[in-house]
Amino acid sequence: MPEALLERLPEWLRAQAVVAESHWLDRLTAAMEMHKGQYWADVEALATEACPPLELFEHGRDWLHIGKEMRQAYSRAIRQTSNGNNGGDDTVFAAARAASEAFLNQWPADKRHNVLIGAAAYLYAQGAQNGEPVRDALIWQLGEKREGSGREPGIAQSMLAALRQISLLGEPVWTNAAGALLYYREANCPKCAGVPVRLNGVWLNLLNATGKCRYARMSDVPPAERAQAKARIADFVQDKFRGMTLFTEVTDNNRVITRTPQGNLFGYVQRDHELHAVRYDQWRIAWAHAIDGNVLAVLEPAV
């Protein structure tokens, strides 16, 4: 008999079974396992590059800081519950869900979709880190388990509704053409926005490029001048930076940097994002958001 079916026999009968040396079902099973492994490897690789459309970031811009606070509440609950927890993952996930829902429920019902879109924009703007996909479990949490079976509607369902509200997801449709099937009718959704990249030190580089003095270290900049430079970055991200072409370059000490068309240093690519940034040597800023003088950007190839 094929080895693939051996485990289906009761234990007392397995010792008596004669396993074929080469059976077509075993070869098929091995090929399917290999295909499954390759499929999930491709899925994981794609997940590290996936990025939502620009509309998500635009709608979430004004709520990005609230989304960050929601993420902090979620992470804090996980951290606190994990310390000395003997209840397993279910206890941790339940605490995280409760903390997330409590944070969300602080807001009026007509504002909660903004909070979720802000959280999504914040999470996806961080990009993949250390070769892992974006950690977006916060916005895809299922509801509480029911006593019988199934779950209550959770944050995941609210997230789907929020995406529909900003026209990034169609309405759910039931069809019986080939059996009962629930799907979301596709809206005219634009292509993937690009690659999320964090650029550090932008405020200092702008100050050195436009000011009278050049500073070698951030600590050398007087506090008032530093605050002014960071405020300029916050003003520039919505107009002057959008559409700007950046050129990537690898320095002698293996840091990936970006330069403006004039050759001025724009920003240092965060270490976790360097592999994405060097895929092209010319990028265009499709979206940007300032954080303390640094820039969270979504870059699209300029070539």
Instruction: Report the C-alpha gap between 136 and 147 in whole angstroms.
Output: 27
Distances (CA, A) of 124 to 50, 184, 194, 195, 299: 9, 22, 11, 10, 13
Question: Region 236-243: what's the mean pLDDT?
Answer: 91
Give SS3 for 293: coil
pLDDT given at position 15: 86
pLDDT at 227 over 90: yes
Give SS3 for 220: helix
- The 10 Å CB-count burial string (b at 16+, else e) for 64-81 is bebbbebbebbeebbeeb
Least confident of 176-185, 255-264, 268-277: 176-185
Q: Are 122 and 135 in contact (CB under 8 A)?
A: no
Q: Are 141 and 119 in contact (CB under 8 A)?
A: no
Give SS3 for 54: helix
Question: Region 230-237: what's the mean pLDDT?
Answer: 95
Best-predicted range by mean pLDDT (128-132, 193-197, 198-202, 277-281): 198-202
User: Full-prediction pTM beyond 0.85?
Assistant: no
What is the dihedral sign for C-alpha 114, 117, 119, 122?
negative
| Residues 195-301, CATH architecture | 2-Layer Sandwich (3.30)
pLDDT at 188 over 80: no
More confident residue, 134 or 180: 134
Instruction: Report the C-alpha gap between 260 and 267 in whole angstroms.
Output: 9
Residue 139: both structure tokens together: 């916005």
Instruction: Report the C-alpha gap between 282 and 153 in whole angstroms.
Output: 44
Q: Where are the beta strands (DSSP E) in 242-281?
A: 245-250, 256-259, 265-269
Read off the pLDDT band of 142 (50, 70, 90): very high
pLDDT given at position 194: 83
Number of alpha carbons in the 13 Å side-chain half-sphere of residue 112: 19
pLDDT at 238 over 80: yes
Provide the 8-state DSSP code for 18. -
Question: Region 185-213: what's the mean pLDDT?
Answer: 82
Phi, psi of 296, rounded to the nearest 5 degrees: -90, 120
Q: Quick one: which H or E segment has residue 173?
A: strand 172-175
Tens of pLDDT along 10-68?
Answer: 988 988 889 898 899 999 999 999 999 999 988 877 777 778 889 999 999 999 999 99
- Chain-wide mean pLDDT for the chain? 89
Question: Region 100-127: what's the mean pLDDT?
Answer: 96
